[in-house]
Structure 1
Amino acid sequence: MSRFSFNSGTAKYWPLHELIDTAARRGLGGVGLWRKPVQEAGIDRVARQVRAAGLQVTSLCRGGFFPATDAATRQQRIEDNRRALDEAARLGAQTLCLVCGGLPSGSRDLAGARQMVADAIAELAPEAGDLGVVLAIEPMHPMYCSDRSVISTLRQARLLAEQFPAEQVGVLVDAYHVWWDPDRFNELALLGERIAGFQVCDWTVPLPAGVLTGRGMIGDGCIDLRRLRQAVEHSGYRGLTEVEIFNSALWQQPGEEVFDLACERYLAHVA
């Protein structure tokens, strides 16, 4: 279990102090955190608790959402990412997860949106390096291209990350978003040290109506998670495996029950 990290988004309404205490007591290696709950609980308070528990903060979610219709809004979003980097550094987080952003309202210019993403990362990358936080580009399933991320494949993310030092920019490999990619194993091998994080959940069939909050519990879907984990580690990744599941049904269950089930399924299907 020391190779496992529990993302707080998997048990959305579970108080952070209870999650952190449970993760430490059960021998997990880390936790993944989200900005809003951390801000509500107090960044420095959460940072102290995590350190005292001996846990890693495997990711802080999220930065990104860079494309916008006007320069002023784009700059506001870059400034918010600067704040997110500072929060990540205060927490001791290894990465700031970048959900890069979709097309600006009314736009059909994919190339332009992708350039906005690249320009924003170029501005932030040196600052991330100075703070010791890796900007982790998360390629997302193509169904999210219009509204959440114009970076859809591992190859796109790799080519973008390779423009910067590895200690500044890497790639977050989320099984939900990359399992379908026919080039995933070749791309993972090429990424090597660029793999900044590895997240798991499952893809259930049929997809629920609300795809954003319909990710499956580990083992409930069709992703070969163990093989993907082995490929990520064969590429040189030495970090933790983080479970991140957005599921409205799971969110209604007690946090510790969701935690227990995730741990059980991790051992059965991933470890």
Structure 2
Amino acid sequence: MSEFPFRFGVNEFTTQPWSYEEDVARYAALGVEAIEICEAKLDPQDAVRQISMAREAGLAISAVQPRIRTFFGSKMTPQPQAVEARVDAFASSLKTLAPHAEGAAFVMNTGAPLQGNMQRCLDETVHYLRRLSPLAADLGVTLAVEPLNPTSINAETAIWTIDQALDLLDAVGHKACGLCLDYWNIWQQPECEAAIRRAGSRIFVVQASDWRTPLSAMDRLIPGSGIIPLGGLLHATWEAGFRGVCTLEIFSSDVPDSLYKQDLHEVIRLSREGLGRAWYDHREKITG
């Protein structure tokens, strides 16, 4: 089997039962190359030292999930409610964590439109991203807007396709603001591979897992065990020019076969194998 071309990373939501310290130590021991830090796992009084632990363990910090990562309220993080307070919280995360995570992308999405007013949500998101993108650039990091699956419309997001995200990025118009491409979220959109290629250099973050019809709002599978055509999406991402980290991001709560209750070391190992197999099988398919 050919080498998987992307560096392999793990998002800390994937190992929800582990502490931050356990994540760092166990990822490094498993040969994981990069970590996507979830601020919710950090101790606010000790975050700087904790982040330094990742680099000391040999893990690149590919991305950060801020504690508050939507400008409008969301089901996952409903408080604070006021938009300005949420923007301030996001900016605070940038100022605190970015100096210790140089080169990382801070992932965000719109949040849920108030009273279903998607246009207002998009307009204000653009407004605040125009404010925060120069700050991110000054701090040596980027912002990555993530379109979410249609199951999250009016609960977590006002955008659910790559092209909607690209329209938003065009409106922001700053090179520090790009795209977070989560295959679980976008694989069902029409002509998905072509949309990935169109995104090109604006892809800052890539996340992978696999799909079954969800049994809860937090139900993702090990790559290769579901129905997402991962091989085609991975190849389209490579053809788009992305050369960064492919990050495993799994949620698995409120389901009878939760991966959080299984051996998470094995979940990571099988996920890495599944991604490599998807890449290889698709390459063999197109080359014969």
What TM-score do the two structures reach when normalised by structure 1?
Answer: 0.89
Tell me the residue number matched to 2:108: 98
Q: Does 1:146 align with 2:154?
A: yes
- Residues 231, 278 of structure 2: 8 Å contact kept: yes
Shift of 1:165: 5.3
Deviations along 1:123-176, whole A, 9 cap, x unmatched? Answer: 211111111111100001122111101011101111211334554100000001
Tell me the residue number matched to 1:163: 171
Partners of 1:42 and 1:161 in 2: CA distance: 34
- Residues 48, 97 of structure 2: 8 Å contact kept: no
Q: Does 1:29 align with 2:38?
A: no
One-letter identity of the residue aligned with 2:21: H
Partners of 1:270 and 1:165 in 2: CA distance: 33
Tell me the residue number matched to 2:284: none
One-letter identity of the residue aligned with 1:55: L
Partners of 2:268 and 2:100 in 1: CA distance: 22
Shift of 1:241: 0.3
Shift of 1:87: 3.8
Tell me the residue number matched to 1:84: 93
Tell me the residue number matched to 1:65: 70
Which of 12, 32, 38 does residue 42 from structure 2 map onto? 38
- Residues 11, 250 of structure 1: 8 Å contact kept: no
Shift of 1:186: 2.5
Partners of 1:112 and 1:160 in 2: CA distance: 13
Partners of 2:100 and 2:109 in 1: CA distance: 20
Gaps of at least 5 residues in structure 1 are: none
Tell me the residue number matched to 2:233: 228
SS of corresponding position for 1:96: strand
Cα gap change, 1:162 to 1:219, in 2 (>3 Å): same
Which of 102, 110, 116 does residue 108 from structure 1 map onto? 116
Shift of 1:40: 5.8
Partners of 1:222 and 1:88 in 2: CA distance: 36
Shift of 1:270: 4.4
CA RMSD of aligned residues (A): 2.1
Q: Does 1:48 align with 2:48?
A: no
Q: Does 1:12 align with 2:16?
A: yes
- Residues 88, 95 of structure 1: 8 Å contact kept: no
Shift of 1:21: 2.1
Shift of 1:190: 2.1
Matched residues, number = 263
SS of corresponding position for 1:176: helix
Which of 219, 222, 240 does residue 224 from structure 2 map onto? 219
Cα gap change, 1:87 to 1:183, in 2 (>3 Å): farther
Partners of 1:160 and 1:125 in 2: CA distance: 13
Cα gap change, 1:109 to 1:127, in 2 (>3 Å): same
Tell me the residue number matched to 2:132: 124
Gaps of at least 5 residues in structure 2 are: 74-80, 281-288
Tell me the residue number matched to 2:77: none
One-letter identity of the residue aligned with 2:183: A
- Runs of 4+ in structure 1 deviating by more than 3 angstroms, as ranges, are 163-167
Cα gap change, 1:196 to 1:112, in 2 (>3 Å): same
Shift of 1:41: 8.2
What TM-score do the two structures reach when normalised by structure 2?
Answer: 0.84
Partners of 2:222 and 2:45 in 1: CA distance: 27
Partners of 1:79 and 1:237 in 2: CA distance: 31
Partners of 1:235 and 1:99 in 2: CA distance: 22
Partners of 2:16 and 2:190 in 1: CA distance: 32
SS of corresponding position for 1:33: strand
Partners of 2:166 and 2:242 in 1: CA distance: 15
